Structure 1
């Protein structure tokens, strides 16, 4: 299992800083880890979970690897799991 989390560098709701949580193996692995971490499904965005700074240490204690944002993105792309936002698409 390789779940990755980057530092909480991203400003977000409630005045908190946020991290990205990804898997470089599968989205199923990521969803399973998020359940164990107690992250709600609504926090999933295409290929990652947005998690508040208050969750970072617990994610690491459960086995997530703390990596830089650049490393996280590189490994997500290399795994073929990156899902880019489609601009201009309508539903």
Structure 2
């Protein structure tokens, strides 16, 4: 099942919601593509969805829930991927060590 919270997170002059699945990441990617959300909006375990796309998501069957319930659903499904456990944490980007910034 797909869940979406209320668009309240500001970025790029718009408000964004979080879209998650409690079934699989594959289901989440397919639904995001269906509603026209680009893959670059995917962040570890959810999509950031602009308010206009959030309305379409609800119309197509995503269940509106609170932000707290988004996290609870991800944890219960075993799909939560917190930032502090992300494999890229603490790693430098390619070339960063070779060419440090000079001020």
TM over 0.5: yes
The CA deviation at 1:86 is 3.0
Residue ranges of structure 1 left out of the alignment (5+ in a row): none
- Give the one of 28, 34, 38 matched to 1:40: 38
Quick check: 31-40 or 81-90, which moved more? 81-90
Q: Structure 1: which 4+ aligned runs deviate by more than 4 Å? A: none
Q: TM-score, normalised by structure 1?
A: 0.91
The CA deviation at 1:54 is 1.2
Cα shift readout 1:31-52 (whole Å, capped 9, x = no counterpart): 0101111111111000000011
Greater RCO, CA 8 A, separation 6+:
1
Partners of 1:34 and 1:56 lie apart in 2 by: 10
**How many pairs align?**
89
2:2 maps to what in 1? 3
Q: Which has the larger radius of gyration?
A: 2
Quick check: 68-77 or 78-87, which moved more? 78-87
- 1:55-66 aligned at under 5 Å gives the runs 55-66=53-64
Partners of 1:66 and 1:21 lie apart in 2 by: 9
Q: TM-score, normalised by structure 2?
A: 0.81
